[in-house]
């Protein structure tokens, strides 16, 4: 099936108020152009260098989302154009984003990544660390970043009840966080394999790659 068709199929199954991020990591420019021609304007990448190259080549009305783990020394390459950084999980990283955003007179929207999966390897804060960060004086001084919400990834498993439980726990952390920061509006959860569960559990933004562009070939 074509990229256009895949996009349409997904749009038909998600509510209007849920934002679709087309995860185009590892995919060549013509694939992204095809999605763009079909009306897609939000793309997600997980490597800064790759995102910069695509940003340089493709139309400038695209919103670029960084969905991968960000190395602090590379923030400077995306600071002038990135629309949303999903995977922020430390004050150190936020401080660097703030510094680079200030150089471009920007306020960069960020999501804080919360660890909900059972796997050790997934990045993210637990609820206590999240609250500690949000309540710290150093955080309050950062004027060039804006926390727009939370992001999380469920365990890679076929056990749907496990996935549901994890998304549900993220939703409740999101609700608690919204009490202290009423301006947050984004709960980024759900990928190709689990976005339907994520939406039922309250996701407002899904990050979908392989169901749009086909399986990825890592070389
Ligand atoms: C790759 C990736 C996705 C998309 O994964 P698919 O299973 O291809 O939809 C979503 N979120 C993050 C953080 C990713 O790294």
For ligand 1, the distance from its centroid to the CA atom of residue 105, given in whole angstroms, is 30
> What pLDDT is recorded for position 92?
97
Nearest residue (by CA) to ligand 1, atom 12, is: 67
Answer yes or no: are the C-beta atoms of 100 and 80 closer than 8 Å. no
**Level-2 CATH architecture, domain 3-213:** Alpha-Beta Barrel (3.20)
Once rounded to an integer, what is the mean pLDDT over residues 179-184? 92
Per-residue pLDDT, 171: 98
How many Å apart are CA 112 and CA 109, to the nearest integer?
10
Q: What is the mean pLDDT of residues 70-95?
A: 97
Alpha-carbon span 171 to 163, nearest angstrom = 12
Using most ligand atoms within 8 A of CB, pick from 14, 20, 23 the residue to mutate for ligand 1: 23
Q: Is 7 in the pocket of ligand 1 (CB under 6 A)?
A: no
The answer to whether the CB of 78 is under 6 A from ligand 1 is: no
pLDDT for 123: 84
Tell me how crowded residue 5 is: count the other CB atoms within 10 A of its CB. 11
Q: Ligand 1 centroid to 140 CA: how many Å? A: 31
How many helices, marked H, and strands, marked E, lie in the chain? 10, 8
What pLDDT is stored for residue 219 in this prediction? 58
Residues 61-81: tens digit of each pLDDT: 999 999 999 999 999 999 999
From the CA of 93, how far away is ligand 1's center (Å)?
21
Tell how far the Cα of 210 is from the centroid of ligand 1, in angstroms: 8
Comparing 39-43, 97-101, 179-183, which segment has the lowest mean pLDDT?
A: 179-183
| Cβ 26 under 6 angstroms from ligand 1 | no
Q: How far is the CA of 208 from the centre of ligand 1 (A)?
A: 6
Q: Confirm or reject: Cβ of 210 under 6 Å from ligand 1.
A: yes
The closest residue, in CA terms, to atom 7 on ligand 1 is 192
**Taking the CB of residue 10, how many other CB atoms lie within 10 A of it?**
17
Dump pLDDT digits (tens) for 104-159.
Answer: 999 999 999 999 988 876 689 999 999 999 999 999 999 999 999 999 999 999 99
Does ligand 1 lie within 6 Å of residue 209's CB atom? yes
* Residue 15 to residue 22: CA distance in whole angstroms: 16
**pLDDT tens profile 12-53:** 999 999 999 999 999 999 999 999 999 999 999 999 999 999
> How much is the mean pLDDT over the chain?
96
Q: Are 211 and 3 a contacting pair, CB within 8 Å?
A: no
Which residue puts its alpha carbon closest to atom 11 of ligand 1? 207
- Domain spans, the chain: 3-213
Rounded average pLDDT over 156-174:
97
């Amino acid at each position: 099936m074509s990229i256009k068709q895949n996009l349409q199929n997904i749009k038909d199954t998600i509510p209007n108020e849920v934002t679709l991020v087309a995860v185009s990591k590892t995919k060549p420019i013509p694939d992204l152009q095809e999605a763009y021609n079909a009306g897609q304007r939000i793309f997600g990448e997980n490597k800064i260098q790759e995102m910069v190259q695509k940003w340089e080549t493709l139309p400038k009305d695209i919103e670029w989302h960084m969905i991968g783990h960000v190395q602090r020394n590379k923030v400077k390459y995306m600071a002038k154009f990135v629309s949303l950084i999903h995977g922020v999980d430390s004050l150190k990283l936020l401080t660097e984003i703030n510094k680079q955003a200030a150089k471009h007179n920007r306020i960069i929207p960020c999501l804080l990544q919360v660890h909900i999966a059972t796997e050790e390897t997934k990045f993210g804060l637990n609820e206590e660390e999240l609250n500690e960060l949000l309540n710290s004086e150093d955080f309050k001084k950062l004027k060039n970043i804006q926390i727009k919400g939370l992001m999380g990834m469920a365990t890679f498993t076929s056990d749907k009840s496990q996935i549901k439980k994890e998304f549900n726990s993220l939703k409740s952390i999101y609700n608690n966080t919204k009490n202290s920061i009423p301006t947050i509006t984004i709960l980024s959860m759900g990928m190709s394999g689990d976005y339907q569960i994520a939406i039922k559990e309250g996701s407002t933004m899904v990050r979908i790659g392989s169901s749009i562009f086909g399986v990825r070939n890592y070389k």
